[in-house]
Amino acid sequence: MLERTHQAPPIFPGSQSFSTAAAQPVCATQGQASVCGRAIFQVEFALSSGRTNRGRTAVIVGAQWGDEGKGKIVDVLTQTFSVVARYAGGHNAGHTVIINGKKFILQLVPGGILRPECTNVVGNGVVIDPLAFLKEVASLRAAGVKVDGNLFVSNRAQVILPYHRMMELGSENAPGRVKIGTTSRGIGPAYEDKMGRRGLRAADLLDSQLLRTHIENACREKNMIAHALFNSDPLDADKMFREYADAAEQIAPFVRDTALLLNRALAEGKSIVFEGAQGTMLDIDHGTYPFVTSSSSTSGGAATGTGVPPTSIDTVIGITKAYCTRVGSGPFPSELAGVSGGAQGEDLRKRGNEFGAVTGRPRRTGWLDLPLLRYAGMINGISWLVVTKLDVLDHLTEIPVCVGHKVDGKETDEVPAQACGYEKLECIYRKMPGWASPTQAIRTVEALPKAAREYLAFIEKETGARVGMISTGPDREQTILVPDFISELGLKSG
Ligand code: IMP
């Protein structure tokens, strides 16, 4: 049984404080080995000897199947946090941020890029498609967003190449294979090559000779496999090399030893937000396997995916919609489907504009699933919850919430390890009173309708985490911040 008791959220030690010290130059990828060695020693010494006011850190994780609205909370935290680091996934993610009515969809670039004073890191746990990255950078530049000097890519991040997409398309459409419903960005095959120790990292991309050899060898092998298994047309290694050598030149100024950059920033007292992508139920280990993405989207991934040690992680903030959505195939116990749920599910989709930010696919919709939220709390160590899209439920007079799961008529707290295990799972619903009034312009918890406050209090009681922020619309301004959350995270209240 998971404990459902309220816990006092962890308080930052009083000795920690923000530093406004200017960023020190970070170690470049090449040609500075001895300088790097000394810098690593200095950072280690400073952090382990306590001779530093280490900056505070918070991990933002999706508590459902992704698309919970993580982009907006990252944007709020960057009011005061100095660095944002992405730790997993690739351009399968799509973070929508709306500022003064202007919409930005970020896929690889962390959300802090929209604040010029913020440093942004694409960590080693991310798989980076160089062409997608450069396209995103170009569109940000065109929108007048500053990217040069405040965006860095880990020299250890894995590179997605066209044969990854070829392998994915082939395997997703092959007869007899389980169709995951991926975003077709080559994410899974790129992580396969990483784990198979045959991947190309950003540092290797910059090494022209190595890049040529890698592409020639990989294309020979992948072309043979894809032709034999999926009858795919072969890719031209020479053309690929030219295209990616050109991209490498443009990417080079962004590539750094970002583990060193981040640890040094912490030692200087700077605060870091670790920006998760996707969600807990899409995590390669803890999600609804095999209907998952191929990376560690849960909070543990923040350490391995950036090189910042787990002991330097202070707070984990879980993001959940006030209801639930999923895009792609796989289990979804509280899904509104079938004859009775069809119209209501469609209604939630329309009101919540539930269409994928990256692929435009309609999202599947359903009610909040508290047992899965508790599970997300346990796996990630969530102390604060952010509830998004509360306003999407504004029209309802009653709101069903899944409060428990049953298997063979017996209540269970165990989340199935097999996708087929979910077929036996039955949701136990409780109908909560709806508020049937608009919440969009509301800026304080006290001003929310009573039923909305009760809905949020029920989530707190059932998960043991506190609700620190509520989003009542897509704009930066349509946000309610709870005073304790503001003070614990050092945010501005206005
Ligand atoms: P992949 O990450 O493209 O391999 O897709 C694997 C699964 O994760 C599919 O069901 C996708 O729809 C889902 N997925 C990947 N990225 C996101 C995301 O950012 N939001 C929601 N679902 C996602």
Average pLDDT over residues 390-396: 97
DSSP-derived letter for residue 28 is B
Q: How far apart are CA 80 and CA 117, in angstroms?
A: 10
Average pLDDT over residues 126-152: 95
187 lines ligand 1 (CB under 6 A): yes
Q: Return the best residue to mutate from 86, 127, 182 for the ligand 1 pocket (most ligand atoms within 8 A of CB).
A: 182
pLDDT, tens digit, for every residue of 157-190? 999 999 999 999 999 999 988 899 999 999 999 9
362 lines ligand 1 (CB under 6 A): no
pLDDT, tens digit, for every residue of 318-349? 999 999 999 999 999 999 986 566 899 999 99
Q: Which of 386, 388, 370, 366 has its CA nearest to residue 378?
A: 370
Burial of 258 (0-12, 13-18, 19+ CB in 10 A): buried
108 lines ligand 1 (CB under 6 A): no
Judge whether residue 311 has pLDDT over 90.
yes
183 lines ligand 1 (CB under 6 A): yes
30 near 206, Cβ under 8 Å?
yes
Annotation says 193 is catalytic: no
Q: How far apart are CA 258 and CA 269, in angstroms?
A: 16
Annotation says 283 is catalytic: no
66 lines ligand 1 (CB under 6 A): yes
Q: Which two three-digit tokens encode residue 346?
A: 């469609």
Diameter over CA atoms, the chain: 67
60 near 315, Cβ under 8 Å?
no
Q: How far apart are CA 250 and CA 23, in angstroms?
A: 23
- The pLDDT score that the predictor gives to residue 492 is 83
Q: Which of 75, 91, 95, 164 is catalytic?
A: 95
Average pLDDT over residues 222-244: 97
Judge whether residue 241 has pLDDT over 80.
yes
Q: Return the best residue to mutate from 187, 327, 359, 363 for the ligand 1 pocket (most ligand atoms within 8 A of CB).
A: 327
Closest atom of ligand 1 to 183 CA is: 3
